[in-house]
Amino acid sequence: MRSSSLLLLLFLTFLVGVCEVQGASDFRICAFNLHHFGDSKSKKSNVMHTLTRIIARCDVCLLQEVRDTQGKAVPLLLSRLNRYDAQHDYKAVASERLGRSSSYQEQYVFVYRTDTATLTGQYQYPDDRPGDVDAFSREPFVVRFKAPKTDIKEFVLIPQHTTPTNTTKELDALYDVLEQVKTMWKTQNVMLLGDFNADCGYLAKKNRKKVRLITGKSLYWLIPEKTDTTVRLSTSCTYDRIVVHGERFARAIVPLSASPFNFQLEYRLTEEQALEVSDHYPVEVLLKDNAYNVSFNAATSMSLYLFLLSHFFF
């Protein structure tokens, strides 16, 4: 009786340890519209501190609306990240400056932890395609990562910040980008993410049937409809989205992990303070780590053990 109880205690300790490893090691992908991030915002210490805390939660984080014309804001952000979170090494890869107007251009920037993700490819989608010249205001800057500790191992990210007045056309054109990337890199593991402006007045319900990214097969929209991804109390729109392609990738997602991160609530900011950071919440999703399956197997083994224990020892 005493030995069986001791064995149970040891097994429970092991199971708790495994579950803690699972929770600590899930791989987080984020997308964050920084709302005009450049020299001016980078000089605000309180804003940079909040940005650092937000981005340091992510293994890979897509930044949008980066307007770093002097090339100083992103390096400063990286420097702060590496000081704030010394357990990881952060690097960034950025697109060229994108936009139809020379007076307003943005960059896509991916910030990533080099110890959990390895950049293995990058591709700037061209500003024209057969039959439809200049489909995007800001063409996708596609990247590929290896993440050996995740269940998926390797994946491609396609970012997009759509122009509000052209949302339907740009979202539909993303389907062509997806198909090209799948062929070019011979992969099915593709995630599309960013500020799609995919709600409220920018994507009318009657237009959704025209968007192949919505009607196409094997595409999973992870952020639930009617989820507010905006900071302002006066708005409630699901602008920011995460979409995965293929059942393999969908199975590699931690169930129900896709959501906005309400940094205003988390860091106890006023609406005014939060809006200094951005008018969007970041959206995020967790990829299963190898330990996720170990934890599941441990739980199954535990059930079997308790069954045997109750029948043979008590």
If one counts every other C-beta atom within 10 angstroms of the C-beta of residue 108, the result is 27
Would you state the pLDDT for residue 128? 66
Structural domain includes residue 278: yes
Q: Kindly report, residue by residue over 238-263, the tens digit of the pLDDT.
A: 999 999 999 999 999 999 999 999 99
Task: Give the HSE-up count for residue 282: Cα atoms under 13 Å, Cβ half-sphere.
Answer: 26
The low-confidence residues of the chain, meaning pLDDT below 70, are: 1-25, 128-133, 292-314
pLDDT digits (tens, 9 = 90+) for 82-110: 999 999 999 999 999 998 887 789 999 99
Predicted confidence at residue 292, as pLDDT, reads 66
Q: What's at 7, amino acid-wise?
A: L
pLDDT value, residue 291: 72
Please give the residue range of the domain that contains residue 239: 27-288
Angle at 162 between CA 236 and CA 222, to 5 degrees: 60
295 in any annotated domain: no
What is the CATH classification number for the domain harbouring 274? 3.60.10.10
Q: Is residue 305 part of a domain?
A: no
Closest to 222 measured CA to CA, from 284, 290, 163, 282: 284
Is 173 inside any structural domain?
yes
Total structural domains in the chain? 1
**For this structure, is 225 an active site residue?**
no
In a domain, 313, yes or no: no
Among candidate residues 65, 139, 161, 284, the one labeled active-site is 161
Instruction: Give the pLDDT of residue 100.
Output: 83
Confirm whether 18 is domain-assigned: no
Residue pair 42/70 in contact by the 8 Å Cβ criterion:
no
Reported in sequence order, the residue ranges of 21-117 that DSSP labels E, i.e. its strands, are: 27-37, 60-66, 90-94, 98-101, 104-113
pLDDT at 310: 37
Q: Give domain status of residue 20, yes or no.
A: no
Q: Which residues of 19-55 are buried (b: 16+ CB within 10 A; e: fewer)?
A: eeebeeebbbbbbbbbbebbeebbeeeebbebbbbbb
pTM for this prediction: 0.85
Rounded to 10°, the helix 2-25/290-312 angle is: 160
Q: How far is CA 24 from CA 18, 19, 290, in A?
A: 10, 9, 12
pLDDT at 6: 39
1 part of a folded domain? no
* 139 in catalytic set: no
The catalytically annotated residue of 20, 88, 96, 106 is 106
